[in-house]
Structure 1
Amino acid sequence: MEYEFSSFTADDVDGIVSWHYDPPYDFYDMKSDPEDLALFTNPNNWDNKYAVFDSSGERVGFFSFNLDDSETLEIGLGMHPELTGNGHGKSFVEAGLKFAKEEYDPDTFSLAVATFNERAISVYEDVGFEPQETFMQETNGGKYEFLRMTLSRSLY
C-alpha cells in the first residue's frame, strides 16, 4: 500500500477522533481520555502531526513527531480501526519512518506502546524496534504499563 502524508486539518482531526476500536484496543479511542482529546483537537498542537492517506485518498491513519534535544524522534501513530489486525501495520510504520527520516533526519526513533498491545509490539519488532524499558503512565482514568522501544536510524 502506498501512503501520502498531509499536515493536519480540522477535518482530519474530526475524522480521527470519531474512530472506535474494538476491545481491548478501545483503550486507543481518542475520546477515552479527555485530557489527551483536548491536546489532540487543539490546533496549536498540530505542528508535526500528519494525516496519512492511501492511494485512493482515504484517511488511513496519522503520525505525530517530536524531536528532542538528543536527536531522538518520538513517534506517535494510529491506524484506522478497520485496517488494524489485517497485515497493514508493517508497511504503515515503515512509511512513517521513511517520511520521518526525510523530514527530521533523527539519529534514533522512539515510541511507547501499551504492554497489552502485543499485536503492535510485534509489528514494531518486525520493523526493527527494540524494547528498552517499561514504565507506568497515567491515562484514560487509570495507570497503565507501557513499553518504550527504540530504533537506531543506522538500522533502518
Structure 2
Amino acid sequence: MNKSIFQKIAMLSQKNARIIADEWHYDGQYAFYDMKNDQEDYDEIISPKLRKNKYFQILDANNNLVAFFCLDPDKEKREQVEVGLGLAPNLTGRGLGSEFMSVIENYVKNNYDYQVLILAVADFNLRAIKVYQTAGYVQTGTENVHSNGGIYKFNIMSKKI
C-alpha cells in the first residue's frame, strides 16, 4: 500500500504562507485559485495578524509543503466551521482529493468540537465538487461571492462529522 503524502499538520509557517501566496499557480480555469488573483485572500494568508491561528500546513515525509487548509468558525452556529483548502498545484488532478478530505476531517474531529464542516466551492469547479460529493458532502445552497474582481456563484456544501 502506498504511504500517504499527507504526513504532518502544523500551524502555517510564514515561509509556507509565502510559497502558497507567491509561488502556487494553477492551470487554466483553476488559476482562479491563485492567491494573487484575490487581494483579500492574498493579504490574509501572508499576514500572521490576519491569518491568526486559522491556517494549517500539511507536509510530506520530507517536510515539503503539499497542502493547506483553514478553519473559519461560524460565529452563530458554533458547531459549524467553514473549511478552506488548497492542494499544491503539482498534486492536483492526481486522485488525492478523497485522502486530502479525510486528513482534514480527522484533524478537525480529533482537535475540535465542530460537528458540521462547510465548504464553499466555485460553481465551475466540477472536479472539486465531485471529490466533495464522494466524501459525503451535500449541497445546501448557493451564494454569489465577490472574488477575483467579479461576482462568482459558489455551491455551499456540508457534512456532519
TM-score in terms of structure 2 length: 0.91
The unaligned stretches of length 5 or more in structure 2 are: none
In 2, distance between residues paired with 1:55 and 1:92? 15
- 1:64 is matched with 70
Counterparts in 2 of 1:84-123, with a 5 A limit? 84-123=92-131
In 2, distance between residues paired with 1:124 and 1:48? 21
In 1, distance between residues paired with 2:127 and 2:7? 21
- 1:124 is matched with 132
Contact 1:8 1:46 in 2 (8 A): no
SS at match of 2:108: helix
TM-score in terms of structure 1 length: 0.94
Runs of 4+ displaced beyond 3 Å: none
Aligned match for 2:13, one of 9, 19, 35: 9
Q: Does 1:33 pair with 2:38?
A: yes
Q: Does 1:150 pair with 2:154?
A: no
State the Cα distance separating 1:136 from its structure 2 match. Answer: 0.6
% same residue = 35
Aligned match for 2:59, one of 53, 58, 65: 53
SS at match of 1:24: helix
Greater alpha carbon shift after TM alignment, 25-34 vs 63-72: 63-72
Contact 1:3 1:95 in 2 (8 A): no
SS at match of 1:82: helix
Greater alpha carbon shift after TM alignment, 135-144 vs 52-61: 52-61
In 1, distance between residues paired with 2:7 and 2:143? 32
How many residues get paired?
153
SS at match of 1:150: strand
* Letter matched to residue 9 of structure 2: F
In 1, distance between residues paired with 2:81 and 2:110? 12
State the Cα distance separating 1:3 from its structure 2 match. Answer: 2.6
SS at match of 1:86: coil
